[in-house]
A = this chain, B = another copy of it.
C-alpha cells in the first residue's frame, strides 16, 4: 500500500492551528502527500494565517464540543495540534459544555500522573474515538535532517564545542532544565533555563559587549537538544529564521540541533536564512556526539 493510499485510508486530518507559520506549513505538506486536511484555526492565535487555502472552521479554544462535532462530521479520526499559543485570556476560551467536561477529565488524567498536559489530552481524545498525533508524524518534512542544511559547515573546533554542549545537556537532562546552551572555545558560556532560547542569545550579545565573554566574534555554537523528560510526540525543540538571526547577532559560528528531534518548520526558509547569515545549521545524530 502506498503512503498516499494509507493516508487516504486514515481519512482527513483535523489540524488545530495556533499562531505562526508552522500550522500552514504542516497543512501544505500533508495535503501535498494526498491526504485531505481540515483546519481548525483558533480565535486569538491564528488570525492572519491564510487558512482559506484549506477547508477550515474557526473555533474558540474552549469549544471542544463544537470541534468534536465538526471533526466527526468531516470524517476526521486523527488530530494534530500545532502552533504558538499565548495563554488565552478567560474571555477568549468560550468553553462549551463538552469543553468543560473535557477539561475536567484532562486535569484528572494529568493529576493521575501524566507528565504532560497534552498527553492527558491525548488520552481523553482516545476515549472519544480520536487519535492525537505529533505534527512530525504526519509531516516528517518539518524535522531537521542530519548534516548541515546550508552552505556553511562546522569546523573541527565547532564540532568540539558541539560535543561539549551535547554532553552538558545530557548531564543536566534529569533536572528538566532548558534545552539549550552556548559553547565557545570548549567553555559553556550560557545555559538556558526558564528564560528561553532567544533571551539566552540576547544575553550572549550583552556578555560580548560588557567583556564577560572574550571569545572572538564568529566563534561559538548554540546547541539545542530535547530534554529526556519531554514527550517527543508533542513537544520537540524548534528553530526558525529568527533563531538564526539571533545567533548571528550573538556572534556565533552556528547552530547544532538533534536530527529527527527538532522542528524546523520550513526547511527551505531555514536554508536561505542560514546562507544569508553565513552561519552553519547542523543536525547531529540523536544519542551521539557529532
- Number of A interface residues, CB 8 Å? 28
Confirm or deny: A213 has a beta carbon within 8 angstroms of a beta carbon on chain B. yes
Known: A194-B189, A194-B190, A212-B194. A174 touches B171 (CB 8 A): yes
Confirm or deny: A177 has a beta carbon within 8 angstroms of a beta carbon on chain B. yes
Task: Beyond the given A167-B175, A190-B193, please list 12 additional residue pairs across the A-B interface where CB-CB is below 8 A.
Answer: A168-B172, A171-B174, A172-B172, A177-B191, A187-B194, A189-B194, A191-B191, A194-B207, A195-B206, A195-B212, A196-B212, A203-B203
Confirm or deny: A68 has a beta carbon within 8 angstroms of a beta carbon on chain B. no
Query: Which residue in B167, B193, B206 is a CB contact (below 8 Å) of A191?
Result: B193
* In the A-B complex, the 6 residue pairs with the closest CB atoms: A191-B191, A189-B194, A177-B188, A190-B193, A191-B193, A168-B175
Could you say which residues of chain B place their CB within 8 Å of the CB of A177?
A: 168, 188, 191
How many copies of this kind of chain does the complex include? 2
Interface hub of A171, A172, A194, A206 (most chain B Cβ within 10 A): A194
Q: Mark A174-200, 1 if CB is under 8 A from B, else 0.
A: 111110011000011111111110010
**Chain A interfacial positions (CB closer than 8 Å to B):** 164, 167-168, 171-172, 174-178, 181-182, 187-196, 199, 203, 206-207, 212-213
